[in-house]
Structure formats: C-alpha cells, structure tokens
Amino acid sequence: MPDKVFAFTHWACFDCRKSFAKEPVARGSAARKCPECARSMIDMGPYFEPPRRLNKKRWNVMKLLVDNGYRFRSEGSRSYIDTFILQVENPRLADVEERIRADLALRSRRRRAFIDGSKNKRK
C-alpha cells in the first residue's frame, strides 16, 4: 500500500531549533530557508515530531539522525527510528551514535550479501 501523500512536511532549522510545517519542494529545487535566521532548513518528513526548542540534547540527537540519512517520511521510518535507533524517550547521544553505527554496518552487510547473491544467480 503506498504511503499517504501529505500537503505539508516538517522543515527543521537546527540553528534556531525550530520546525515549520510547509509544503514539500520538488527534487532538485532550492532548499527552503528558515524564516528566523535565513539558513537552510532540512525536510524531516511529515511524521517528524520536533523537540521543544530548549531541549538542546534532543535537537543534537535529531541532528545526528539527519547527518546519517534518517528521516521521518513514513509511519514505518518513524517506527523504525523510535524502536531501533532511539529506543527510549530521552536517549544519550553516545548510545544513539552506537546504534546508528551498528544499523549502518548491518545494512552494508545485507547489501553486500544481496549483491553477491544476485551475481551468483547470473552465473
């Protein structure tokens, strides 16, 4: 079943620690600018729940997720991030870093196994 199409998505400014619900932009378009500081914002997806502005620790965790390619684009991605990467309500940054490294290593192993398996089938 395809994901829902949303009229808005959450754009986060990690400099201001604010999130804005705005329309998505087409791929290849210029990034949205923050109305507060005019720096680039990041499309976090419609399922992103921004932390409170003063919760710097939680914003740092969200920034770490973004830097490693995690977004909240579907219910599945949000559930995966909450369950396997964050695991608790207020995770420690070091714990999240460790789980991200483990997750990326697992994905890499699966990708290599898939590629190796498809090469063997062609022979």
- Cβ 24 vs Cβ 9: under 8 Å: yes
- Cβ 43 vs Cβ 15: under 8 Å: no
Instruction: Give 89-123 pLDDT, tens digit per residue.
Output: 899 999 999 999 999 999 899 888 888 776 666 55
Instruction: Give 5-52 pLDDT, tens digit per residue.
Output: 667 899 999 999 999 999 888 776 778 999 999 999 999 999 999 999
Stated pTM of the model: 0.81
Interatomic CA distance for residues 53 and 17, integer angstroms: 5
Query: What's the confidence (pLDDT) of residue 71?
Result: 96
> Where is 16: in which H helix or E strand?
none
9: left (phi over 0), alpha (psi -120 to 50) or beta: beta
Interatomic CA distance for residues 121 and 123, integer angstroms: 6
Query: What's the confidence (pLDDT) of residue 1?
Result: 44
Query: What's the confidence (pLDDT) of residue 114?
Result: 82
